[in-house]
Structure 1
Amino acid sequence: MGRTRQRNLILAASNRHERYVSTDYFIEEHDDVLISQLSAMMGKDPSRIMNEAIGELIRRYRPPSRNRTTRLKLIKS
């Protein structure tokens, strides 16, 4: 396995009370190469590609109610 690289990630909430969350995540070397290739093909910054992917996961697995955040449920699109 290759060396794991560290990248910074900033997420913006999609509600009217937007806030930014900064976090670190680790990706495998082969995933880093794929993200770099996607970045070159799409003309987007690698962190923006990761933000979009994580945003899609959040939308897909959002809890059914704001009050119940402990149980995640798959929302079929």
Structure 2
Amino acid sequence: MWRLPQKAISFSRIFNYNAAWFLFDWLPRATRHIYRYRAILQPQDVFGRLITHSVVVQITAQFPLVYQYFNQEQLATEWLLAQPAR
């Protein structure tokens, strides 16, 4: 699961570095070898939700996985475990 920081103010150099690593390093490797399903835990604040949506829109075009949004980690985990194995 991938979780964006809860506060929009957190999106600084640290976020940019983490987002770049996620988008250009980890995600391409994971998609090639492991993952088809992605559970996304939604931030509580509206700015975090907007940024999450923006990132998902960007990655969906390049990495056509099945994305599902959740507000609770337990529900996200249950959904992931219920998905068929590769």
TM-score (norm 1): 0.29
The structure whose residues are more often strand, as a share, is 1
Give the TM-score taking structure 2 as reference length.
Answer: 0.27
- Which one has the bigger helix percentage? 2
Whichever of the two has the greater Rg, that structure is 1
